[in-house]
Structure 1
Amino acid sequence: MDQQNDGTTRRRLLQTGALGAGAAIASGALGTGSAAAAMTDGTNAAGSQSGQAASSTAGTASTAGRIDTDHPRFTLAVVPDTQYQYDEDRGDPAPLTASFEWLIQQRSAENIVFIAHLGDVVQNGLAMEFAQADPVFKILDRARFPYSVLAGNHDIDGSKDDTRGDSPYLHTFGPQRFRRMSTYGGSTPNGYNSYHVFRAAGQQWLLLAMDWRPSDASFAWARDVIAKHPKLPVILTIHELVNADHGNPVAYFSDHGNRVWEQLVNDNDQIFLTMNGHYWPPGRVTRKNAAGNDVHLHITNYQDRFYGGSGMVRLYHFDLARNTIDVETISPWIMDQDPAKRDELAEAEIELTDDTNRFSIPIDFAERFGKFAPVPVRPARPAKQLVIPGTAAYWRFDGPATDQVIDQSGKGNHLTRVQLAGDAPTASAEFHPEQPGHASWLFPGGKNPARGGYLRTADEAAINAMTFKSGYTIEAFVKLADDGQDHSWEGLLARLGTGRDAGKTGSDPDEPTVKLGFSGGLELQWAVYPFDKNDTFTNWGHEMVAGRWFHLAIVNDGRHSIVYVDSSELLRNPSTLSNGLATVGKPWLIGAGHYNNVVDQGFAGNIGEVRIVTRALKPSQFLNA
């Protein structure tokens, strides 16, 4: 089952960090560390209490909530060794029952796409024990919730590898159980190893569920599965790989773990995350593979804790917009208990908040997956496709840094370069990933003295006199210089002429009639004298990150101005009405601002392109749409 990832969607998620891709996660979505807070009063979950038979609650969860497979945030739930809950006549299915029912109930809110069990389902590998576990896993079957199960050493004859032959484990968790799942991709001929492909964050992910002791043939099978899915990131689940010691959560390879690393992980760059149980306490370590990339190796197991681990679930919250995996560990079974009747030992097990069980992993997903699944570059788009009705000027910096930039709108508002002290702007191959033109100019601006260069329209350009009383949209692709120098109050775009020149006496009349720039704290500022007001109106943005591309837009509908960054509406937009832009018929400047008509510094950074339209556009009409 060779399924390919949706590169277009992933490009938008990874490179622009667009949180709006696809439908939003349910309004009650929980943040990291908040899962336990959702259910501490014992009233919201359907989990069982201690001693309650699984069969009495197994029918309460027959459907699963909707998930959003395109949203950049999703959750992978991991269930480690549950063996003490199925130990001949000494177990209790209630904790795992509660965990599964909670996962089903939270599936939509947490965008839980898959559940992975890490083996040692039962203690002694007995048919009677699997008969006890089977109806609990059927809760997931009825909910059509995809999951994987692998064999731990307590599930089978641990002295043999996966060529061991038949077993009660195989009767319960063999390929016949998983074939009904849409995620199931296949198993080894012996039935003990399987793989799943699930969709999340606009792409597909491959998860391997490997036996306690894979044979050489099974390792070859796993390598072949990866080779047949060459663009999919891979998560390896296996029962034994790394170990950790009490008091030192830095994990290390077991002897068998070294074999797994050498036969499967090291030379398969697609494997970026591994999870195993078997040992305790939990721990983690990061190792470089043969390609020089990080592999995150985690051990999670709670069987040594109160009530055999209390049905602990580890939640891996993937967030591709933030380039982070947030991890938390909770016990839905304990969360569901009446706090007034909760055991003293149980109180400490509701959620584990130490650094070993609640943490974040920074991962630049685009970079990490770039060698085997590079994010496709959006094709360049010719300028004529972007000259929409109402375009007053459209300047693209995708050619050599000459003395003139042509106005692509056809209105003749061409730009001419003006040189300050120091170096002149130069052509750059860098560009915003959603930018129509695949290039930019690098402006080496600065102040004290004013240096660099900027561009201006001609004295007779038609756009100089325009008042934009019907509204306007001004867009730009920008990357601020990350050079450590002081570029406070630099201008990206401005209009020559001051408030005083235009007959405006409010605020500081020596300020420009129009300026788009950045404060000393890199806050975006749109400050203008409207056509119909005697005072300045200012929209403020948040602090921008130097060295990173972004798209910005200022949209005025003839009444209000709204600032957008990467198509996200910002907060500090005035509610007071303002119409049009004051003008004294003087030129527009790109790459500079001014005070009292004196340019005091040049812009420092890259400018990709700038478009001005004489009406309010929707984000779906922006240049980055």
Structure 2
Amino acid sequence: MPERPTAGGVARRRLLQGALAAPAAIAVPGLAAGVAANPVAHAAPVVPPFPGAYDPQSPRFSIAVLPDTQYLFDEDRSDPEPLAATFRYLGEQRGVANVAFMTHLGDVTEHGTQDEIDLADRTFEALDGLVPFSVLAGNHDVPGATDDQRGDSPYLGAFGPSRFAGSETFGGASPDGYNSFHVVPAAGREWLVLALDWRISDAGLAWAQGVFDAHPELPAVVTTHDLAAAGDDGVSALSGNGQRLWDRLLRRNDQVFLALGGHYWPPGRTVLTNDAGNDVHVHITNYQDRYYGGAGMIRLYQFDLVRGTIDVETFAPWFLTRQAGERPPLGADVIELTGDVDRFSLPVDFAARFEGFAPVPKPPSRPPTRVIGRDTVAYWRFDTLGLRGRVTEGGVVADGAVAQDLTRNGNDLVARRLHSTVPELLTRSLDHHDGAPAHASLRFDGGQSPDRGAVLEAVAAAPINAEKFLGGYTIEVFVKLPEPFVGNHAWMGIFSWQGRAGDAGKTAGYSPLEPTCSLNVSPERFLQYVLYPHVQDASPTSWSHALPVGRWFHVAVVNDGERTVVWVEGSPIARNPSQPAHGIATLGRPFTLGATGWNLGFGQGFYGFLGDVRISGRALEPSEFMTPLV
């Protein structure tokens, strides 16, 4: 934190005159037993190692951010115990919260003296070899009127390149030693973390640009001490130094998606737009004005690449890990902070945000020969390899168009409209699941009001119409519900075998008029798989969770000859029945894609996208599904 302005309005760094004395330890009410209020005279607290099972492949990981700790290393007023508690917590959480890295934002100490630096040095030893970390110089760690060309300093001796030379993430430092970078493995890729001096020189900026140039595909987090300041409303604005850093470095490098600074309080955040038109999140983090100098408070940035979110929380482990009766009364107020600038979530589409510099290669389309196995009964796809005839340049799939059964088993499907002659009810799209073999799909525009839709039906002589699957089966389909999801589409069908359950002698189900096998979507967008087995008089039914709209899903219905389990994106759903389910009570009527019949007729058709469909004559393992992403 900068010193308060003098009468002339110029901030100045108060220099310590003379060497620090080593006063006796003084007991302070509220501190843990045996913790001295003034530990300058003794060694830093010992932090036992906690081996963590950090997983660099997990799509969930955390980066811990530690702002200004200067009031914990302040002459004879020093107390490193809060920071030691933070380091103990990070060691314990290394595997639990998948902590990939910790970065300090500068102002480690109040005056940057040898004694203060030495105590901080000993305290940070708890993290060496346990949790990778970076430290940068703030204006209280070094002469505040200098930039990174200042030369030697006690800070550089403790937190310069030699400190990190053995770290698994350390990538290098600028020639002056005050700027460094780390390459952090997390979520199956590498991330760049730059720790820049509080006053980076032109030479330092050139060095930093060189780091970006040498790592052009790594998403980057930039940390520095003086970046932005915030008002009481929590809205940040770049400081003078931050503006220079933005103009000279950050805005030009699309890799930078997150920039973090300390120095000022209160905390705040804003979003800037870089030269590539992308968001850069700029955050100010500093709690030294809070009780006990911030008490070693940390901010945890929890990345979730599956949800596309960074969840942020701020808390003080020194208080969090103690029993309520052992906390000083004021400690209860800052165990964790829940204001809008302290606890929040950032939605980030990581693939889209990093597309400009690190595009994720999409799986290529696969020929039918790589999809069809010895147990494949039927396979349909809707690119030019699978869908033939009567498809206009605009993508309209006319009645009579044929989706060929690429197994050559004779299970071709023929398109036709239901109730309406509107051409756009069925179109071909290039939209597809990333893991689908074919890079195309069919867009169905069915609905209840009025009854409308289109279907693809197996030809009359298709073997699939009467196949009983007594040895088990797997039915796979790629499904996407549109966004926005407009209209009434309750109980629309994805696929079914036409025919009435009553005609198969089944009496135990919902109605003798419904088909003997169907995959449907409920009003709540739950998948419903209804089966009338060939052997049992029963209708075991599976129910999924609500499918989100605007996202592709691979759905697999797997029957091992005894019971059925439905999988969505390689994950078994919860509500699969334990009832016996042996075979399918087919009646020789057409297998149908795009609708579920009732009493030998159709009302509405499907509303959404359907991709490749494959039916196998046995229960497949998830590793055998059509999508390589499972």
Query: Which of these residues, 137, 141, 147, is aligned with residue 151 of structure 1?
Result: 137
SS of aligned partner of 2:502: coil
Query: Which of these residues, 326, 342, 358, is aligned with residue 373 of structure 1?
Result: 358
Quick one: structure 1 residues 235 and 428, their matched pair in 2 at CA, closer, same or farther if it must change by over 3 Å?
A: same
Alignment match, 2:507: 505
1:317-370 Cα shifts (integer Å, max 9, x gaps): 001111111111111112233422321111112111222211111111111111
**Alignment map for 1:449-464 (pairs within 5 Å):** 449-464=450-465
**Alignment map for 1:110-259 (pairs within 5 Å):** 110-141=97-128, 143-245=129-231, 247-259=232-244
Q: Is the 8 A contact 1:47 1:99 kept in 2?
A: no
Q: Which amino acid aligns with 2:504?
A: A
List gaps (5 residues or longer) in structure 2: 1-31, 390-400
Q: Which runs of 4+ in 1 moved over 3 A?
A: 46-60, 447-450
Quick one: structure 1 residues 540 and 338, their matched pair in 2 at CA, closer, same or farther if it must change by over 3 Å?
A: closer
SS of aligned partner of 1:84: helix
Alignment match, 2:528: 525
Shift of residue 180, structure 1, vs aligned partner: 0.7
Deviates more, 1:56-65 or 1:408-417: 56-65
Q: Which amino acid aligns with 2:51?
A: A
Shift of residue 201, structure 1, vs aligned partner: 0.7
Looking at both structures, which has the greater relative contact order when contacts are Cα pairs under 8 Å and sequence separation is at least 6?
1
Quick one: structure 1 residues 582 and 50, their matched pair in 2 at CA, closer, same or farther if it must change by over 3 Å?
A: farther
Deviates more, 1:351-360 or 1:154-163: 351-360
Q: Is the 8 A contact 1:515 1:528 kept in 2?
A: yes
Q: Is the 8 A contact 1:47 1:332 kept in 2?
A: no
RMSD: 1.8
Q: When the two structures are superposed, what TM-score results if normalisation uses the length of structure 1?
A: 0.90
Aligned length: 578
Alpha-carbon distance between aligned partners in 1 of 2:169 and 2:51, rounded to the nearest angstrom: 15
* Rg larger in structure: 2
SS of aligned partner of 1:500: helix
Q: Is the 8 A contact 1:70 1:202 kept in 2?
A: yes
Query: Which of these residues, 585, 589, 603, is aligned with residue 586 of structure 1?
Result: 589
Alignment match, 1:80: 67
Alpha-carbon distance between aligned partners in 1 of 2:139 and 2:294, rounded to the nearest angstrom: 18
Alignment match, 2:392: none
Quick one: structure 1 residues 345 and 598, their matched pair in 2 at CA, closer, same or farther if it must change by over 3 Å?
A: same
Q: Which amino acid aligns with 2:346?
A: I
Shift of residue 63, structure 1, vs aligned partner: 4.8
Query: Which of these residues, 538, 547, 562, is aligned with residue 550 of structure 2?
Result: 547
Alpha-carbon distance between aligned partners in 2 of 1:172 and 1:316, rounded to the nearest angstrom: 26
Alignment match, 1:67: 54
Shift of residue 50, structure 1, vs aligned partner: 5.8
Alpha-carbon distance between aligned partners in 2 of 1:488 and 1:154, rounded to the nearest angstrom: 65
Alpha-carbon distance between aligned partners in 1 of 2:280 and 2:583, rounded to the nearest angstrom: 55
Q: Which amino acid aligns with 1:119?
A: G
List gaps (5 residues or longer) in structure 1: 1-45
Q: Which amino acid aligns with 2:496?
A: A
**Alignment map for 1:430-579 (pairs within 5 Å):** 430-482=431-483, 483-506=485-508, 507-579=510-582
Shift of residue 66, structure 1, vs aligned partner: 1.5
Deviates more, 1:203-212 or 1:592-601: 592-601
Quick one: structure 1 residues 83 and 401, their matched pair in 2 at CA, closer, same or farther if it must change by over 3 Å?
A: farther
Alignment match, 1:6: none
Q: Is the 8 A contact 2:65 2:102 kept in 1?
A: yes
Q: When the two structures are superposed, what TM-score results if normalisation uses the length of structure 2?
A: 0.89
Alignment match, 1:41: none
Shift of residue 237, structure 1, vs aligned partner: 0.3
Q: Is the 8 A contact 1:75 1:317 kept in 2?
A: yes
Quick one: structure 1 residues 58 and 624, their matched pair in 2 at CA, closer, same or farther if it must change by over 3 Å?
A: farther
Shift of residue 419, structure 1, vs aligned partner: 2.4
Shift of residue 544, structure 1, vs aligned partner: 1.1
Quick one: structure 1 residues 47 and 412, their matched pair in 2 at CA, closer, same or farther if it must change by over 3 Å?
A: farther
Deviates more, 1:51-60 or 1:314-323: 51-60
**Alignment map for 1:369-448 (pairs within 5 Å):** 369-399=354-384, 400=387, 402=389, 403-420=401-418, 421=420, 422-423=422-423, 424-448=425-449
